[in-house]
Amino acid sequence: MTITKRLGIGYAIMAFVCVVLLVWLWHHEFVEEAETFAARGLSDIHKDTAAEFSTVCFLGVIPVLLAFGWWWTRRALAPLRALTHAAEQIQSNNLRLPLPRSMNDDEVDTLAAVFDSMTARLDASFQQIREFTLHASHELKTPLTVMRAQLETVLRESESLPDEKIEWVESLLDEVQRLAKIVDSLTLLTKADAGIVVLERQPVALGELVREAFEDALILAQPHRVEVALDECADAALLGDRHRLRQLLLILIDNAVKYNRPGGGIHITLGEKGGAAELRITNDGGTISTEAQRRVFGRFVRGENAMGKVEGCGLGLTIAQWIVQAHQGSIELRSESGGKTAVIVRLPLAQCAPAAQAGGVENLAAV
C-alpha cells in the first residue's frame, strides 16, 4: 500500500471519529440536556446555549482541517508520485531521459537530482559496454575469417591427410563458424541497442515469406525425422524489412526443429486477427516452465532441455524479439496441452503499420 493511501485511510478514520464525537456532543448538549432540564422543570438553568453552540461549531471545524490536511499532503506528495511514475519508465535505452524536478530544493527534488546523476552514470557504463562489444566483435571477425579460410583450404587439399586429421579439421571449422555466428549476433544486438540499425519499411508479403520458410523447415527437419505442416497461411501484408522478417522466421523454425523430439511435429499457422498478422509455430518438444518463459528472451539464456544437448548460444530468441519489437509487434512463448510449446508472433498489418522510416538496411551478416 502506498504512503498516500495509508495517509488517506488515517485521515478518513480521524475525520469519521471527529464527526461521530461531534454528533454525539451536539445531541447531548442540545437534545438530551434540554429534555432532562425540561423534565425537572429547570429550563432557566440552561443559560449558556450560545457558548455551547460556539464550542460545538469550533469542534466541527476539526474535520474541515483534516480534509485540508489531506489535500495538502496529496499536494506535497504529488512530486514523489510523478518521480515514481517517471522512474518506472526508465529502460536501458532511455537512461538519458531526465526525471521531473520541482526545483524547490526539498527532499524529493534532491532525490530526483540523485536519480538523474545515477542514470547518467549507468548510461555511460552501458555505452562503454556497447563500445567494447562492438570493438571486440570487430577485432574478432578478422582472425576468425582467416582461420576459417585456412581450415577450408586444408579441407580442399586433404587428399594426403588421414581420416582422423580430416575429422579434426572439420570439427575446428565447425567451432570457428559457431564463434563467427556468435560474434555476428553480438554485433547486431549491440548496434540495435545503440539505435544504429535502421530497418526498411516497405510492403512485405508475409504469407510468401512463411511459405518460403516452410520449404526451409522441411529441409531442416528431415535429418531429425520431424514432420512439418503448414496448417494455414493467410495472404497477410505489412510494412517491414523483408530481410529481418525472413531472419525471424528462420530463427523460430530452427528452434522448433532443434528443441523437438525425434519423430515429433511442427505446425505453422499464419492468420489475421484484430488488424494484425498472427504467426503461430508449435512443436512437440515438451513444455517449458513459467520461469523459463519469462527468461528465455534474455541474452545467453537457454532452456533446461538445451544445456549440453542442443547447439546454440542463447541469442536467437533475443534477436527474434528485437526484430518483432522493431516492427511494433509482440512475441510470446506459451506451453500448451499435450506437451507442446508454441511461439506466437503478432505484427501489425500494412494498413495499421506506422509510417515508413527513412534510411536503408544496415549491411549485417544474417545470423
Write the pLDDT tens digit of every residue in 83-94: 888 888 887 777
The least confident of 120-124, 176-180, 307-311, 333-337 is 307-311
- Of 59, 88, 117, the last residue of a domain is 88
State the pLDDT at residue 1.
54
- Of 54, 71, 88, the last residue of a domain is 88
Say which residue, 351 or 324, is predicted with more confidence. Answer: 324
pLDDT at 177 over 90: no
State the pLDDT at residue 360.
36
State the pLDDT at residue 40.
66
State the pLDDT at residue 9.
75
Non-local (6+) Cβ contacts of 117 within 8 A are none
Q: What is the mean pLDDT of the chain?
A: 79
359 domain-assigned? no
Write the pLDDT tens digit of every residue in 125-137: 888 887 888 788 8
State the pLDDT at residue 246.
92
38-43: average pLDDT? 65
- Of 27, 61, 88, the last residue of a domain is 88
State the pLDDT at residue 210.
92
153-166: average pLDDT? 80
What is the number of structural domains in the chain? 2
Q: Is 53 helix (H, G, I), strand (E, B) or coil?
A: helix
DSSP-H helix ranges across the chain: 3-27, 33-40, 49-88, 107-156, 163-194, 206-221, 242-258, 290-295, 316-326
206 domain-assigned? yes
State the pLDDT at residue 281.
92
Q: Which amino acid is at 283?
A: N
State the pLDDT at residue 250.
92
State the pLDDT at residue 19.
76
Q: Is the pTM of this model over 0.95?
A: no
186 domain-assigned? no
- Same domain for 73 and 209? no
335-350: average pLDDT? 86
132 domain-assigned? no
- CATH code at 339? 3.30.565.10
Q: What is the largest CA-CA distance in the chain?
A: 133
92-110: average pLDDT? 78
List the domain range (segments joined by +) for residue 247.
202-352
pLDDT at 366 over 60: no
Nearest of 207, 209, 213 to residue 236 by alpha carbon: 207
192 domain-assigned? no
The least confident of 54-58, 163-167, 222-226 is 54-58
> 104 falls in which pLDDT band (50, 70, 90)?
confident
